[in-house]
Structure formats: structure tokens, C-alpha cells
A and B are shown apart, each in its own frame.
Chain A
Amino acid sequence: MTQLLRIEGLRISFAHRTGSTDVVRGLDLEVNQGETVGLVGESGSGKSLSCRSIIRLMPPHATMSATRVEFEGRDVLGLSRTELRAHRSRNVGMIFQDPFSCFDPTKRVGEQVAETLRVNVGLDRDAARERALALLASVDIDRPEQRFRAYPHELSGGMRQRVMIAIAISAGPKLLIADEPTTALDVTTQAQILALIEQLRRESEMAVLLVSHDFGVIAQACDRVAVMYGGHVVEAGPVDEVCAQPRHPYTRALLESIPSVESAGRRVRRAGIPGQPPNPAELGPGCPFAERCAHVRASCREVDMSLIRVTEGHLTACPVVADSLGAVATGVRP
């Protein structure tokens, strides 16, 4: 498989009055062409920010640095303003959590699709309109002519997310970043949107980076998964393997906390993770999960969070688990 995206040693920090807080603390991630990679973690784990680093879309006061952010072998960090715009408009499409707040409320949705086609693909007004209608049809919007003329507030959540996807894929990107694309939707719509993304991925051979706090969504949609906690990737690997044999205590706890269908209706208390997600401002060195971990050792306060290979393609940042499996810390990153 050809590598599409490679992130190494990504750090993102927020500047404030008294200094700065690291929110992402050395993240490694790679995405191959045409595959679906999941990025899972609790809110505040840094997953949304991390995926925005691919197009250098940082909020005010946030700065990112990295050993390497490469897209198709090109250094993203070194792109000029013009090159960055081209990268954003052609290489990468992005959809967001709240499909309502992602639209200009004063413009018809079709216009917003057509505008993207005019600006990013260079179509003229009529061609853009034609193509926009075709795109709306391709994301399974019925009566596209009519929807074209609708304002964002006149569409349902699922419909809006479909239009958002149409905008994101309009320039034929090689990577689709989907940041919590189904969180604001009900379960039925959620499944439809995931199926649509999967269908589009297969048809156009683009890769998908799916960001979610919901392991269920990730397990359903992804080939590989990276689990984030406290600004680090704590485990990465093929999604089936990670689900079946989690190799980091946090992943294990996260999987155990998912309510299953079998337990529905019965008064089973799910094993939640004790304690609170860490506040990035208070994190010291070592494993960020140490505070809440059942298997914590003194050495956990000193681990450097580099990933250890357990099996081919399956990595964990937990030396305790790795030791117990007889894996040797090689300092290898994915």
C-alpha cells in the first residue's frame, strides 16, 4: 500500500497569558491510500486538533510543530500560503461534527456547493451548477434541483451532512477528514452517513480519516485505528485486532465501557473508567493514563510514550503490557 499521509512528532499547544499548554504531545500517525483510519479518544484528547494539522487549520492562539507532516511525500509544514490553499482545496476534503453550523446561513446550499466547484475546480457558473446537482445526487439527495435552492436551516441534519460531504469531495480529494461526522445525528442517519462515506471511498479510492469518540462507529467503519489519550497515541493497529486484543489499559477500559446490545434492558452497570479525563494543563511527564490505570507502576511516570510493536502493525505505548507479552521496546513508531 502506498503511503498517503505521514505525521511524526506532532505537537500542538495553546498560548495563554501565563505560558502555553501542550494539547497534542508528539503524535505519530500514518494513512495509506484508499484506507479508512480511525482516530478515537475522549473529548479533549486532542484528536480534532490533530486531524486539522493535516491542512494546518489551527484555531487562534494554537501553534503546531512536527518532525514531519507529509502528504504524498510533500512537506505540508513548508507550504507557502498559495500552496497551502491548493492543498486544502484539492488534496483534502473535510466534514465536521455539526452539519448545521458548517454552512453560511445566508446562502442556498446548492450555491455553496457550486461556489466550491467554481473556486476550487475552476468550473464556470453553468458547469458548476450542473456538477453541483450531480454531486448532490451522488450523495443520495433526492430531488436535488429542489434541495439546491434550500437554505441550510431548511434541511434535516442528515441532509445537511450529505451536502457537506458533497462539498468535501467536490474537488476529488485523496483524503477525507471526517471529524465526528455522525455525532450530531440520530442512530439511523448515522449508519446511512457512514455507509455513504464508505461507498464514496470505494468508488473514488480516497482515504478516510474518521475521528470519533465512539468506538462502535470506528469499529464499524475503519481498517485501522489509533487510540488517543491526553495528546498521545496510546495504541494503534488493525481495528479487529485492537478490539479483540487491546494492548493498552486505556483502550481496554474504553472498550469495556461500551454498552452492548446483549446488556440492553438489563440493569447491568457498565464498567466506566474511574476518574476524569486529564486536564492538559496539569499533565506531567510519563503516561497520561497513569492516574486512572489499574495496572500502574512507579515507572509509568517516566515512560516516553513511544510506541512498542506487539505484532506486525499493532503498537502500544504501554511498556507494562508489552513486557508481559514479551515484546521488546524498540522505540519503533508506526
Chain B
Amino acid sequence: MLAYVARRVGISLVQLLLLAFLAFSLIHFVPGNPVSTMLGPRATPAEIKLISDSLGLNRPLPSQFWLFLEHLVTGHFGQSFTFSQSISSLIGQRLVPSLALIAYGTLVAMVIGVPLAILAALRIDRPVDHAIRIFTTVSFAMPTFWSGLVLAVVFALKLHWLPISGYGAGFWGIVRSLTLPAVALGLSLLAVIVRTLRSSIRHVLSLEYVEATRARGFTTWRIMAHHVMRNAVMPTVTVLAVNVGFLIGGTVVLEQVFQIPGLGTLLFLAVEQRDYPLVETLAVLAGSVVVFLNLATDLLQFVVDPRVRPGVHSA
């Protein structure tokens, strides 16, 4: 068990190292460079050399990469090129709104999606199932900026229930301001949850042990809650972990629409300005969330399913 966890963590570290390398190479090979973006077209070669030297851009690439790794490992990410701030404080300010939005959106998706998936699986190929499929397909096909705008028009402009944009203060202020973008985000995640969960519930329902619980006269509620869901959630958790990780830095458009000072907006600015260290750090950060969530999902499997626990026997 411990050996497995150690191996799994080791693999995650290698994944992160590869990710750092990819992020570094990609942004360095993208045309355009931070100095000319900063100084504009009229800069003299001497000025460009001066700034490049001061940012360490004239050092050989391997040594720049090494510096980047050093920054990552020490957790002191260095200085942003364009914002006159350290990267850690930049990210620190913007991490909370982004994480809050993603967590809230995921929660919305689960609160709506799980009951819908159960209902669809219990009424498979019946009208309810088809209606749910159509609803989730539409919500999945709608881009978040569009559903976000529609929600803003209806619930903020017309009904005045919620703020139209911005990021409120205090817990309830944050909740209120994030509700509309979170619903927009949740709607886009809904299809993933409903589709995977519906099909895994359907599979579990076809297993003989479910028939055996029916033969015992248990209620559908008891069968679903105590015997089906636990065996059906794992694929959905896995898919959800990948999708949610992907959302870090993937909520750029939504953050723009609702004027949320999050990581998505920051990433957008950083790429535009060719702010190498900022882009690299954000990429690795987003990647570590994906890697971490996947690691957590794999370990969660042992909690959920006793059969895959290596080397644990109680009988």
C-alpha cells in the first residue's frame, strides 16, 4: 500500500517536471518577446540588450530553465516582467476568486447533475431520460460566455436578484457575485457528470447483486443510496477531476464576462505581454492541480472499493 502510494507520488513528480519543461519550451518558442512588447517598436538595440540582460533573457536556455525549476522548488516564483510585483503575490491575490468560482461551479453541477443522472438511469430510454439528455446536451453546447450573458441579462439586469458583475466582499458578497458565473460553469460541466454517472449507474443496476437486493424487498431509495451509488461514482469522479483541473486558467472568458479578478484573466494578460515566468508558473500551477486531483482520485479508489486495496486482507 505505502509502496504504491510512494510510486504514484513519484510518477506525479515526474509528470510535473515534464510539464514544467513543456511550459517553458512552448512560451519561449512562441514568436514575440517580452522586451520588445514592453519597449515598443522604437527601442534601440542597446536598450533591448540592457533590459534583456536585467531579466536574464540572454543567458543560455538551459540555465534559464534551471532558474525556473529553482523558483518552482523553493516556492518563491520570482518577479513578473510586466507587473511590478512578485509572482507569488500576484497569484495569491487571484487564486481565491478562481478556486472559489471553480468549486462553486462544480458544486452547482453536482447538485443538479447527480439527481438528474439517477433519474435518467432509473428511467432509461423513457421520455424523462430523453428530456434530460436534450437538456444536458444543450447546456454543454452553449459556450459559458453565452450562458453567462443570458443569466446576467435575466437575473441581474431584469430581475435584479444578483449583481451583474464584479467580486463582492465578505463570504455572502462573494457567494452572491459568483452565483451567476458558477451556474454558467456548472451548466457546462453538467453533461459530463450526467453522461458518465448515468451510464455507470446503468451498468451497476444491471449487476446481479442489485437484483439480489431487490429480491430482498429493499426500496429503490435504499438500493440506490446504499448499494448502487458507491459502486457507480468512481468513473464520474475521475472524469470530473480531469475536467475541473482543466478549468484552472480555463475560465478566462467567464472571468472576463463577469469581471472576476481571477487567474484566467491574469494568464490572458501574461501571454499577451510574453511575461515568461508568469506564464510558466501559471501553467505549472494549473498542471499541478490536474496532477494532484488525479492522484487524489486514484487514492480515493482504495477508500471506495475494497477489492483494489493492495495487500489489505481482513479475513
Q: Which positions 213-269 of chain A face chain B at CB distance < 8 Å? A: none
Assembled-state Cα–Cα distance A171/B183 (Å)? 48
Assembled-state Cα–Cα distance A238/B254 (Å)? 77
Q: Quick one: which of A55, A120, A151 contacts B307, CB cutoff 8 A?
A: A151
Q: A101-B207, A104-B209, A105-B305 are in contact. Are A88 and B315 (CB under 8 A)?
A: no
> Once the chains bind, are A85 and B219 in contact (CB under 8 Å)?
yes
B53 contacts chain A at the CB level, 8 A cutoff: no
Number of interchain pairs (Cβ within 8 Å):
78
Question: Which one of A64-72, A142-150, A187-195, A307-315 contacts B?
Answer: A142-150
> Once the chains bind, are A149 and B208 in contact (CB under 8 Å)?
no
> Would you give the shortest CB distance from B138 to chain A, in whole angstroms?
28
Residues of chain B lying within 8 A (CB to CB) of residue A87: 217
Residues of chain B lying within 8 A (CB to CB) of residue A328: none
A271 contacts chain B at the CB level, 8 A cutoff: no
> Once the chains bind, are B216 and A167 in contact (CB under 8 Å)?
yes
Assembled-state Cα–Cα distance A18/B217 (Å)? 33
Q: A89-B217, A106-B305 are in contact. Are A149 and B315 (CB under 8 A)?
A: yes
Q: Which positions 145-177 of chain A face chain B at CB distance < 8 Å? A: 146-147, 149-151, 153-155, 164, 167
> Would you give the shortest CB distance from A103 to chain B, in whole angstroms?
6
Residues of chain B lying within 8 A (CB to CB) of residue A90: 217
> Would you give the shortest CB distance from B214 to chain A, in whole angstroms?
6
Q: Which positions 173-218 of chain A face chain B at CB distance < 8 Å? A: none
Assembled-state Cα–Cα distance A105/B214 (Å)? 16
Q: Which chain B residue lies CB-closest to A59?
A: B211
Q: Which positions 115-152 of chain A face chain B at CB distance < 8 Å? A: 115-116, 119-120, 146-147, 149-151
Assembled-state Cα–Cα distance A55/B214 (Å)? 10
Q: Which positions 128-158 of chain B face chain A at CB distance < 8 Å? A: none
B226 contacts chain A at the CB level, 8 A cutoff: yes
> Once the chains bind, are B217 and A88 in contact (CB under 8 Å)?
yes
> Would you give the shortest CB distance from A83 to chain B, in whole angstroms?
10
Q: Which chain B residue lies CB-closest to A153?
A: B307
Q: Which chain B residue lies CB-closest to A52?
A: B215
Q: Quick one: which of B212, B230, B231, B306 contacts A96, CB cutoff 8 A?
A: B212
- 1/0 contact trace for A17-29 toward B, CB 8 Å? 0000000000000
- 1/0 contact trace for A99-111 toward B, CB 8 Å? 0011111111000
Assembled-state Cα–Cα distance A245/B306 (Å)? 52
Residues of chain B lying within 8 A (CB to CB) of residue A108: 314
Residues of chain A lying within 8 A (CB to CB) of residue B216: 88-89, 116, 119-120, 167
> Once the chains bind, are B315 and A101 in contact (CB under 8 Å)?
no
A49 contacts chain B at the CB level, 8 A cutoff: no
Residues of A within 8 A of B (CB): 55, 57, 59-60, 84-90, 92, 94, 96, 98, 101-108, 115-116, 119-120, 146-147, 149-151, 153-155, 164, 167
Between A and B, 24 residue pairs with Cβ closer than 8 Å are A57-B215, A84-B217, A85-B217, A85-B218, A85-B219, A88-B217, A89-B217, A89-B218, A96-B208, A102-B208, A102-B209, A103-B212, A104-B227, A104-B231, A106-B230, A106-B304, A107-B227, A119-B222, A120-B217, A151-B306, A151-B315, A154-B314, A154-B315, A164-B212
A88-B214, A96-B211 given. 16 additional CB < 8 A pairs? A57-B215, A84-B217, A85-B219, A88-B217, A102-B209, A103-B209, A104-B227, A104-B230, A104-B231, A119-B218, A120-B216, A146-B315, A151-B307, A154-B313, A155-B315, A167-B216
